[in-house]
Amino acid sequence: MIPYGRQDIIQDDIEAVIAVLRSDSLTQGPKVPDFERAMAGYTGAEYGLAVNSATSALHIACMALDLGPGDWLWTTPNTFVATANCAHYCNAQVDFVDIDPDTYNLSPSKLAAKLERAKSENRLPKIVIPVHFSGQSCNMKAIHALSQQYGFRIIEDASHAVGAKYLDKPVGCCQFSDITVFSFHPVKIITTAEGGLAMTNDQDLANKMALYRSHGVTRDPRLMDEEMEGVWDYKQIALGFNYRMTDLQAALGLSQLTRLDTYVARRNELAQRYDDLLRESLWITPKQDDRQTSARHLYVVRLPKALSCHRAKIFEFLRDHGVGVNVHYIPVHTQPYYRRKGLDYGDLSTSEDFYRRAISIPLYPKMTLAEQDFIVATLIEALTEIRDEKHHP
Ligand SMILES: *Cc1c(COP(=O)(O)O)cnc(C)c1O
C-alpha cells in the first residue's frame, strides 16, 4: 500500500539522535533551545517554545491568552479535533465558522457575518484559531483586520504549514497573529516523532507558555514575587504540566529542518504534477492561491457532486488497489462529543459538503513518479468503474 503520508529519515537524522543518546542530557539539555532558536530564525518570530505535541502547544497557547470559563473559542470544523479540544481543556466553549468552498480554509466573510451576530448577542470569541488546511495559509490579513475590529486574539494552527509562506513571509512569523502552532508528527512536513512548537513575538506570552509547559515552575527571579532562599530555589507560581520536548526529539527536528525547504519544493512539484495529470478527469483538484507557497501537507481531490454518494465505494476501491487514501476531515462539530454539546449536522454546510466529497491521496517527498502515475491511473479507473456500474446495474 502506498501510504498517504510518510516521514523521511536519513543517516544524518539517526546519527543526530544517537549523539544525544551518548550525551549527558536526554532531556532539558541544549538541543531543545537550539531547535527553538533555529525555528525562530527560520520563521522570523522572536520566540519558539518546543513541546511534546501541537496539541500541548495549543493548550499552553490558550492558557497564555487567559482562555477560561465563560469564554468562547472559534475555529474551523475542517480540522483535527485537537484544534477545538484545547478550548475545553480551559473550560471554555467552542463554536465553529464554516469554510471557504475554494480553499477549504476558514472563511473570513463567514467569520465577519458571525462576529456581527455575536456582537449583538454579547458572545464574541476571545480566541479564533484559523487552521492552514493542507499547508495553504488562511487569509490572515482579513482575519487580523477583524480581530482589530472585534477584539479577539489569534492562534494560527499551522500544523500543516511548516515551511509555507504567506505574502512572502514564512508562516510562523506571527505577523498577523499572537501565536502560531506547528506539529512535528511523522505525517507532517518535518518530524520529531511526536512534537510541537508555539511561536510568538510577545515576550510575556513566551514566558507564560514556558511556565505552563513545565509545571508552572520557574527559576527566574524576575518572575517571582518572593525572595529566593538560595541558588537551589525554584518557585511554582502557576499550575502547569509536563509538556516538554526531549533532546532526542529536538536533535531529530534540527536535523530534519536542514531539509525543510527541499521537502516543501518537492511536495509542490508533485502536487503540480497531480494537477496536470488529473486535469482532464472528473476529479476536482484543489485550488491554490498563487500569492503564497503552500507546504502541501495534503493533496485533497473531490468527487463531482453527482458521484458523492459513491465516496465509500471509491475509497474502498482505491485502498483495495494499493492506494492508501484518507479523509481530511470529518467536520469536528459532527463528532459525538461535540454533538452532545448541542452542535449537529446541517450547522455548517460547506464543510459538510466538502467532507462528503473529499479524498486525500498520497503525497510525501520520497514518492516516486512511477508511484504517482500508478495512483493517478487508479483514481481514474475508480471513477470509470463506478460510472459503468451506474449505467449497467
Ligand atoms: C496534526 C494536527 C494537530 C495535532 O498535532 P499533534 O502534534 O499530533 O498534537 C492539530 N491540528 C492539526 C490541524 C493537525 O493536523
Residue recorded with cell 459503468: 388
CB of 360 sitting under 6 A from ligand 1: no
Q: Which long-range contacts (CB under 8 A, 24 or more apart) does 382-385 make?
A: 382/314, 382/317, 382/318, 382/321, 383/281, 383/282, 383/283, 383/307, 383/314, 385/317
Nearest protein Cα to ligand 1, atom 14: 159
Extract the C-alpha cell encoding 386: 463506478
Q: Is the peptide bond before 329 cis (omega within 30 degrees of 0)?
A: yes
Please give the average per-residue pLDDT across 251-274, as a whole number: 98
CA of residue 219 to ligand 1 center, whole Å: 31
Going by C-alpha positions, the residue among 330, 387, 339, 388 that lies closest to residue 359 is 330
Site to probe by mutation for ligand 1, drawn from 56, 96, 183, 294 as the one with most ligand atoms within 8 Å of Cβ, is: 183
The residues, any chain, with a CB within 8 Å of residue 242's CB and separated by 6 or more, are: 213, 214, 215
Please give the average per-residue pLDDT across 4-22, as a whole number: 97
Which atom of ligand 1 approaches the CA of 183 most closely? 7
Element (H, E) at 196: strand 196-200
The answer to whether the beta carbons of residues 314 and 380 sit under 8 Å apart is no
- Work out the pLDDT band at 91, boundaries 50, 70, 90: very high
CA of residue 132 to ligand 1 center, whole Å: 11
Assess whether pLDDT exceeds 80 at residue 390: no
CA angle 184, 106, 67 (to 5 degrees): 70
- Give the per-residue pLDDT at 155: 99
Nearest protein Cα to ligand 1, atom 2: 159
- Give residue-wise pLDDT tens across range 107-152: 999 999 999 999 999 999 999 999 999 999 999 999 999 999 999 9
Q: Mean pLDDT score of the chain, rounded to an integer?
A: 96
Count of CB atoms situated within 10 Å of the CB of 148: 8
Which atom of ligand 1 approaches the CA of 55 most closely? 9
